[in-house]
Structure 1
Amino acid sequence: MSSLPIQALFAPLQQALTDHSQIILEAPTGAGKSTALPMAMLQWPQINGKILMLEPRRVAARSVAQFIAKSRGEKVGDNVGYRVRGEAKVSANTRLEIVTEGILTRMIQQDPELTGIEVIIFDEIHERHLPTDLGLALALEVQESLRDDLKLIAMSATLSGLPLQNLMPDAAMLVSEGRSFDVEKVYRPVAGQQQWLDALASVIIDSVSTESKTVPVQYQQGSVLAFLPGKGEINKLQRLLSQKLDSQQFILCPLYGDLTPAEQDKAIAPAPDGKRKIVIATNVAESSLTIDGITIVVDSGYKREASFNPRTGVSRLSLKRISQASSIQRAGRAGRLAPGCCVRLWGQEEQSRLAKTEAPEISISELTSMALDCAYWGESNIENLPLLTPPPTIHQQVAWRLLAQLALVDAQHKITQQGQAAYELGCHPRLAHMLLQSKALADAHQQADLVSLACLLTAVLEARGLPKKGVDISQYLSLASQGLMANQVRKWQKLLAVSGDIKQIARDAASRDISSLLALAFPDRIAKARGKQGFQLSNGTGVTIDIEDNMSNHDWLVVADFQESQGRNAGRVYLAAAINSDHLHHDLASLISEHKICEWNEVKGRFYAERQQKIGDIIVSRTLESNVDSSLIVQALVSHIQRKGLSILNLDERFYQLQYRLKLAQQFAPEHDWPVIDTEHLLASLSQWLAPYLTEVNSIAKLQKVDILGHVKNLLTWSQQQTLNELLPTHWKMATGTSAPITYQVDDIASDNADIDQITNRQNGKSLGIQARALLSVRLQEALGLSQSPQLLHGKLVVTMELLSPAQRPIAVTADLASFWQGPYVDVKKEMRGRYPRHLWPDDPANTTATKFTKKKTPGLQ
């Protein structure tokens, strides 16, 4: 420990703690920032209070605490302890406490002054986990408003792409050298049609062979660390390797978040004497952990990323390539204790195409729990917190809407009394709402055990790594009455002031009670069967259940857990409870709402109205109505148009020309505040601009007679209509008195035409990036005397001339009339003189008076 590079920063760090309240420390892999630094800080005279160190992952928090305690010759829980979800080893003597992300946030919420805590260290902050971003934001607010003596240290393996200095501009900046040995990179892209998991198994087997073609012999004595995207792939690879490797020589150790602490410790510990260890891990092993004996890393290059889908309200799991930063972190695991080798299952040229860094979780995650954290903190807008990255607006809207539906916040996003009680239960807001409402349900049905049953259900839904027992959630209740899950159930029972034999309650739980409770948490996930495997959720989402599972035979379910996956059209249900129709219309009747709708029947060619009972998007029952109200017909017409598109209306070329002209006006004369009349906007706003004129329309035939162009024109003021006609007229007055029509083409509408002009802002000579053409069609004789093509939009758009023969057929197209008269016109004149001898074809067209008559009728040419 005394030789670690971080030692060189101890003196500057002590000085920084004296002079600054915020410190940013960049310390690459192997520097000792997670172990040597916090251990040394326990002895520094500048620190008298408690040190909290945040570790993003539970396995890292436990491992770091155990390592530091052992290095000090102490037991974990004495001066050095840790606290993770469901497990804590701390005492009154603990001065250095390693905690996971969510624990830190709750400590701040429960005691905003952080009594007794002097320093908070944010380790591995570059990983950008959502709770880390939130914890840092709250700590910064505490420091700003309550504890100016609180010291914050943000530590990162790299500051690349991390806007810490924007958030903490006055922080002291310190940089440590790393300590890692050279790692040789070997690229082994998957060949042809081979499955990447099979290829990975082959590479690992070859890597530990004495005759390896992949890994140089000098790395052969160490153990192997393989990176995979998830638990499923880890289990498959473990089965493949166990069939091909000698168990007397190799020990296979999976490593992922759902494993028990004992199983995780086994993966981190040194290999038994005489054996080599093969650790098969998720990205949990990317940082903070030093796994003894690793000299070879085999990297699949994949990760499993959960991105929130605001439409369905769940996160979609996708298999994605890791970033360059992640690949560097993974490779570095092979060089922590000695020189090593990293085998990458992709080509060297692909390495440079990987994204530079990972997307921060706040950009892709569900924000319901974070929003409740904000409300509990007293903040009604997530973006008002000092965050490294603002979250997507739509994700925030979905989160606040759900919290309002659960009555945990009010319309102004202020936390309610129910919301405060829900937060203090420490589970997802949906489940906290179920726990609180279960008491009211228990009183109504005179069933005191309903609250304890809700606690058991919550424990199941909060658990990780459940064994597979099918979709029926009742099959898992017995698990929740045992071990660590039972401890959590009893904590909730205590908070809710109830008691009961949870083993007995788990055995006696009735399906009706389970579904009633789950409906409190998931009112948007009532599911109706459609087809053999499929169900529709009340939020509109489609889900499936394996046909072999008994739950697929029910007509109605409440879905408690489902997952969307890349490449699947419907989500897959993991946990649900059955609902019978009698139950639906009694205990769950509050979820049913009544609607009166009117629609156009295309087959019968008429409107019809019906009364529908619905749960969200699911129609439970429907009854035809004999009288169709005119207001309902208007709604039906609007819906019909939105479904079919504007093309079903009485539209002609004049309508589309108005759209094109207005698009050009918006681009080049925005000072007139033009309305938006593109098709998408018009469809979305039918209720505002068209519906008022449909009250007398009761058929599609009458709809066809509505003056759509007139109503759209009325969206422009009289002044705007006059200005538009001046800037972009529909006709051009020729010298002969003829009003020649101008046809406009804009953007992709005419993208196939090679001669579209690029409009240029002539004031600054810069292209404005919109393609368009104004095409003026007129007989050539009426263009005589024009020295150049007309110009529109105050000279920004040159009109393209379509010159016609006396028979009104195109004979030339040009946007440069002067050049046309001097060049191509000569050939046109030769050809046309013989075909139309009675018409004028002068030798000097630019200086000839225009005419719309034959030579005989033209004055001076008789």
Structure 2
Amino acid sequence: MDALPIQSLLPQVRQALISSNQLIIEAPTGAGKSTALPFAMLDWPEINGRILMLEPRRVAARSIAAYLARNRQQSLGQDIGFRVRGDTRVGSNTKLEIITEGILTRMIQQDPTLEGVAVVIFDEIHERHLTTDLGLALALEVQASLRDDLKIVAMSATLQGLDFTKLMPQAMHLCSDGRSFPVSISYSAPPTNLRDSNTMPSWLSHMGKVILAMFNDAATLGVSEPQQRGSLLAFLPGRAEILKLQDYLASRLPQDVTLHPLYGELPAELQDAAIAPPTRGQRKLVLSTNVAESSLTIEGITMVVDSGYRRQASFNPRTGVTRLGLKRISQASAQQRAGRAGRLSAGFCLRLWPQEEQGRLAAADDPEILSGDLLPVVLEAANWGVKSLAELPLLTQPNPGNEAVAWELLAALELVDETHKLTAHGRAAYQFGASPRLAHMMVKAQLMTRGSDDQQLLGLACLLAALLAGRASGGPGCDVLDKLPSLLRGPDNHQVKQWLTRCQLRESPAHYLKAANNYDVALLLALAYPDRIARARGQAGFLLANGTGVTVDSQDALASAEWLVVADFQEQEGRSSGRAYLAAMLPPALLTTELAFLCHWQEEAGWDDAKARFSAERQLRLGKLILKREALPKVDKQLKRQALLTVIRQRGLNLLNLDDRVRQLQFRLTLAQSEDPTLFPDCSDSALLDSLDAWLGPYLDDISQLKQLAELDIYGLLLNRLSWAARQQLEEWLPGHWPMATGTHAPIRYDDSGRALLSVRLQEALGMSDSPKLLKGKLSVTMELLSPAQRPLALTADLASFWRGPYEEVKKEMRGRYPKHLWPDDPANTLPTKYTKKRMGTMSS
């Protein structure tokens, strides 16, 4: 590590940490910021306490900790250790802990003073995971309020897309050189005539063939002989593509090539094998997700093949589901991936997309906080004591719609109250360290079994939570009950035991599995996913309580169920229904017993087209599912009003009398609102539909037929929304008429393009030097100059230019057609008139 470029920067870093408590380090790939810097800090006497360094991924955290411990000739847990989910190697004297981001959040929540911690380092902060942004925000709050001696260091290979000026305005900024060797870049897009196979998409088939060529006939691709003797790192979007390509390549690779997958869910020993140096005489092929994009150095890599794809999670607030979509990577990611080939020697990178597409890629990836599911984050925020994520010092503010949905679901699960304050139930759930839904389920199971000798339901809740947190497949089909046995032998067994211990349950997972039954499974899942209780709707599959459609494979036993509770489903691009992957059959009896609290009676009214009248009924609802209906003999005014508003929203504003006066008022108000949005309301069609209750609702009580809607004075209703001051201002800025010198009040018409059109006979505009100005001089009126017969002659927004030029042609043509009217040679300096020349002469005499 003594030769790494960061070494020359260490004296400045050391001095900066003495004089400042915030530091930003920009250091390109290979600089040594993740290794040599924290290693050196261990021996700086001015750092009096532990050093926490955050890595975005578990494999990087474990790898870096192991590498540094070897360089210190120690075992893990002495001076250097790590903490990741499910694995900890830390001792009582450990000074440097490499941890994943979520670990820091929990540490701060448990001890807001971070006692004993001197420095917190955020490595690879440019990756912008939700947990990164939240961890940094909480650390900054701790530093500002409780620990002004705490040092915070933000490190990244690039600061592109990172605005630290507002978040850390006093931070010192240091830059280091990188250490990388030149990487040759080539492009090889999949042939357009390549068809998808039954098992692999065309781009993946092309990638497999290219990788084989890299090992067997690399010279044709531009790979040098030294590079071909090295190992190859291939970037793929996810686990599924890695496994498909692994299956394709396994029997086709040369004998001296060993194949290793690398992805987040892989067991630790297999991850370690993927990043270890190849054995003597062997080359490696590592098929990896973007876990190898930064932080990790995989020994022996000289070649990179980049698919150009990544999996992007996109949360849909309407369905409450995160969709994983295949997306193109950014230019920043492409650069990071290519750089993996040049860490130890000159390298070669082959990109599987057209070269001309490279410049069209996004500069950097969007931060996860803009598109991710914010439910876990808002629970952390509630436990921290804030009522909105806007109260936290975040690099990027979240998507408001996603945040609103998250708070609503927390309230529905009884984890927060209406003010977003954590409830006692929420505090108990938070302690489990599970997702909010699963934690809620386990706490509910605790309450339901309290005081009983039979703890089966609680034990089953722990099993289900581990299964769903790990998203274990456990064989074909989507019945959760069939997948529970996988917990006895899979990697999630450790998590089950942890939660059983936390719940003070002494029996083994096998004990609770043996007594598991469909009734209890459905009950517990419904507690966690009340919005995903689903009812069959014939060939169309199932309708969830949140209004979303889902399907189950026709061969699956659950396809014939009347009721389901769906624990995991994914939306499908191009389809209106999602696909269920984990579900349980729901006994209908639960809806009248343990789950009856989820069902509510409400009154609904609507317009019956067939009978041409209003109808009303009481409905027993579970979300958007209607369980029972009872007719109401009489429709009260409030119900009728809501029914009318619903009809208008469904059919549009054309049910109302939006005549020309209304449209003109809308156009004027749109222009006025652009000048002063505080004085003038938005009266566009979309805004009027959104605010129907406020401006139209009070006037619907006497409406009994839809045709009566057309008799309402909509112009008057919209005008009444304006204050007296607003009306006066509207007339001053955007009048409906313009006073001509002849005494005529010429009409001004407005349109949806923002134009104001004044129509007047040409003779009445004589002597006007320019077109009138409206809206404080910002809007030039377009003049429509008419003939004596009121037919359009010219259209101009620059009257002065018209008099100087086009008027001459108009004059020549019109003098012969209308000889009795005035067509002067100097129109700009001629008095206007409404009369013929004869009448003018009579009047002057």
TM-score of the two chains, using structure 2 as the length reference: 0.92
Specify whether residues 815 and 695 from structure 1 end up closer, same or farther in structure 2 by C-alpha distance, changes over 3 A only.
Answer: same
Which of 244, 251, 264 does residue 236 from structure 1 map onto?
244
SS of equivalent residue, structure 1 residue 274? coil
Which of 457, 478, 491 does residue 450 from structure 1 map onto?
457
Specify whether residues 222 and 685 from structure 1 end up closer, same or farther in structure 2 by C-alpha distance, changes over 3 A only.
Answer: same
SS of equivalent residue, structure 1 residue 859? helix
Specify whether residues 273 and 819 from structure 1 end up closer, same or farther in structure 2 by C-alpha distance, changes over 3 A only.
Answer: closer
Q: 2 CA distance for matches of 1:613 and 1:66?
A: 59
Which of 749, 755, 766 does residue 772 from structure 1 map onto?
755
Residue of structure 2 equivalent to 1:360: 367
Specify whether residues 692 and 47 from structure 1 end up closer, same or farther in structure 2 by C-alpha distance, changes over 3 A only.
Answer: closer
Q: Deviations over 1:152-193 (max 9, x none)?
A: 333222233323454334444433322222211112233324
Specify whether residues 529 and 808 from structure 1 end up closer, same or farther in structure 2 by C-alpha distance, changes over 3 A only.
Answer: same
Q: Does 1:676 align with 2:682?
A: yes
Give 1:722 deviation, angstroms: 4.1
Q: 2 CA distance for matches of 1:698 and 1:626?
A: 16
SS of equivalent residue, structure 2 residue 618? strand
SS of equivalent residue, structure 1 residue 136? helix
1:299-318 pair list within 5 angstroms? 299-318=306-325
Q: Does 1:859 align with 2:842?
A: yes
- Please tell me the residue identity of whatever aligns with 1:30: G
Residue of structure 2 equivalent to 1:118: 118
Bigger CA drift: 715-724 or 694-703?
A: 715-724
Q: 2 CA distance for matches of 1:637 and 1:145?
A: 54
Q: Deviations over 1:176-218 (max 9, x none)?
A: 3222222111122333243221221122111112453112223
Residue of structure 2 equivalent to 1:710: 716
Q: 2 CA distance for matches of 1:423 and 1:456?
A: 18
Give 1:732 deviation, angstroms: 3.7
- Please tell me the residue identity of whatever aligns with 2:713: D
Q: Is the 8 A contact 1:842 1:848 kept in 2?
A: no
1:634-653 pair list within 5 angstroms? 634-653=641-660
Q: Is the 8 A contact 2:563 2:587 kept in 1?
A: yes
Specify whether residues 850 and 427 from structure 1 end up closer, same or farther in structure 2 by C-alpha distance, changes over 3 A only.
Answer: same
Q: 2 CA distance for matches of 1:439 and 1:147?
A: 37
Which of 691, 695, 709 does residue 689 from structure 1 map onto?
695
Bigger CA drift: 708-717 or 808-817?
A: 808-817
Which of 209, 227, 236 does residue 219 from structure 1 map onto?
227
- Please tell me the residue identity of whatever aligns with 2:235: F
Q: Is the 8 A contact 1:774 1:798 kept in 2?
A: no
Q: Deviations over 1:524-582 (max 9, x none)?
A: 11122234353222122222222222222222211111223544433322211111333
Which of 417, 421, 443 does residue 436 from structure 1 map onto?
443
SS of equivalent residue, structure 2 residue 583? strand
SS of equivalent residue, structure 1 residue 244? coil
Q: 1 CA distance for matches of 2:28 and 2:796?
A: 65
Q: 1 CA distance for matches of 2:768 and 2:449?
A: 90
Q: Does 1:154 align with 2:161?
A: no
Q: Is the 8 A contact 1:538 1:616 kept in 2?
A: yes
Residue of structure 1 equivalent to 2:198: none
Q: Is the 8 A contact 2:522 2:587 kept in 1?
A: no
Residue of structure 1 equivalent to 2:260: 253
Bigger CA drift: 825-834 or 267-276?
A: 825-834
Q: 2 CA distance for matches of 1:502 and 1:619?
A: 38
Q: Is the 8 A contact 1:785 1:850 kept in 2?
A: no
Bigger CA drift: 73-82 or 360-369?
A: 73-82
1:520-599 pair list within 5 angstroms? 520-532=527-539, 534-599=541-606
- Please tell me the residue identity of whatever aligns with 1:206: A
Q: 1 CA distance for matches of 2:806 and 2:147?
A: 83
Bigger CA drift: 580-589 or 845-854?
A: 845-854
SS of equivalent residue, structure 2 residue 206? helix
Q: 2 CA distance for matches of 1:794 and 1:376?
A: 52
Q: 2 CA distance for matches of 1:420 and 1:649?
A: 51
Q: 2 CA distance for matches of 1:159 and 1:725?
A: 52
Q: Is the 8 A contact 1:80 1:96 kept in 2?
A: yes
Bigger CA drift: 257-266 or 46-55?
A: 46-55
Bigger CA drift: 633-642 or 74-83?
A: 74-83
Percent identity over the alignment? Answer: 54
Residue of structure 2 equivalent to 1:768: none
Specify whether residues 141 and 719 from structure 1 end up closer, same or farther in structure 2 by C-alpha distance, changes over 3 A only.
Answer: closer
Which of 482, 486, 491 does residue 475 from structure 1 map onto?
482
Q: Does 1:289 align with 2:272?
A: no
Residue of structure 2 equivalent to 1:34: 34
Bigger CA drift: 496-505 or 299-308?
A: 496-505
Q: Is the 8 A contact 1:187 1:347 kept in 2?
A: yes
- Please tell me the residue identity of whatever aligns with 1:196: W
Give 1:461 deviation, angstroms: 0.8
Q: Is the 8 A contact 1:456 1:481 kept in 2?
A: no
Residue of structure 1 equivalent to 2:57: 57
Give 1:450 deviation, angstroms: 0.4
SS of equivalent residue, structure 1 residue 532? helix
Q: How many aligned positions are there?
A: 836
Q: Does 1:131 align with 2:131?
A: yes
SS of equivalent residue, structure 1 residue 198? helix
Give 1:94 deviation, angstroms: 2.8
Q: Is the 8 A contact 1:746 1:773 kept in 2?
A: no
Give 1:734 deviation, angstroms: 4.7
Q: 2 CA distance for matches of 1:117 and 1:797?
A: 62
Give 1:583 deviation, angstroms: 2.6
SS of equivalent residue, structure 1 residue 288? coil
What is the root-mean-square deviation in Å for CA atoms of aligned residues?
2.8
Unaligned 5+ residue runs, structure 1?
748-770
Residue of structure 2 equivalent to 1:144: 144
1:11-50 pair list within 5 angstroms? 11-50=11-50
Q: 1 CA distance for matches of 2:638 and 2:216?
A: 79
SS of equivalent residue, structure 2 residue 274? helix
Specify whether residues 598 and 21 from structure 1 end up closer, same or farther in structure 2 by C-alpha distance, changes over 3 A only.
Answer: same
Give 1:508 deviation, angstroms: 2.6
Q: 1 CA distance for matches of 2:383 and 2:512?
A: 33
Unaligned 5+ residue runs, structure 2?
195-201
Give 1:272 deviation, angstroms: 3.3
Give 1:480 deviation, angstroms: 2.3
Q: 1 CA distance for matches of 2:144 and 2:36?
A: 29
Specify whether residues 628 and 836 from structure 1 end up closer, same or farther in structure 2 by C-alpha distance, changes over 3 A only.
Answer: same
Q: Is the 8 A contact 2:786 2:792 kept in 1?
A: yes
Q: Is the 8 A contact 2:485 2:513 kept in 1?
A: yes
- Please tell me the residue identity of whatever aligns with 1:654: R
Bigger CA drift: 652-661 or 482-491?
A: 482-491
Q: 2 CA distance for matches of 1:465 and 1:514?
A: 16
- Please tell me the residue identity of whatever aligns with 1:240: Y
- Please tell me the residue identity of whatever aligns with 2:781: V
Q: 2 CA distance for matches of 1:138 and 1:406?
A: 25
Give 1:471 deviation, angstroms: 1.2
Q: Deviations over 1:812-855 (max 9, x none)?
A: 33445555556555554555566556666667766366235695
Bigger CA drift: 624-633 or 54-63?
A: 624-633
- Please tell me the residue identity of whatever aligns with 1:692: P
- Please tell me the residue identity of whatever aligns with 1:314: V
Give 1:419 deviation, angstroms: 1.6
Q: Deviations over 1:782-807 (max 9, x none)?
A: 55665654444454444333344444
Bigger CA drift: 123-132 or 527-536?
A: 527-536
Q: 2 CA distance for matches of 1:823 and 1:106?
A: 77
- Please tell me the residue identity of whatever aligns with 1:351: Q
Specify whether residues 852 and 57 from structure 1 end up closer, same or farther in structure 2 by C-alpha distance, changes over 3 A only.
Answer: same
Specify whether residues 793 and 35 from structure 1 end up closer, same or farther in structure 2 by C-alpha distance, changes over 3 A only.
Answer: closer
Give 1:675 deviation, angstroms: 3.0
Q: Does 1:180 align with 2:180?
A: yes
Specify whether residues 2 and 812 from structure 1 end up closer, same or farther in structure 2 by C-alpha distance, changes over 3 A only.
Answer: closer
Bigger CA drift: 641-650 or 9-18?
A: 9-18
Specify whether residues 538 and 836 from structure 1 end up closer, same or farther in structure 2 by C-alpha distance, changes over 3 A only.
Answer: same
Give 1:43 deviation, angstroms: 3.3
Q: Is the 8 A contact 1:317 1:565 kept in 2?
A: no
Specify whether residues 796 and 142 from structure 1 end up closer, same or farther in structure 2 by C-alpha distance, changes over 3 A only.
Answer: closer
Give 1:405 deviation, angstroms: 2.0
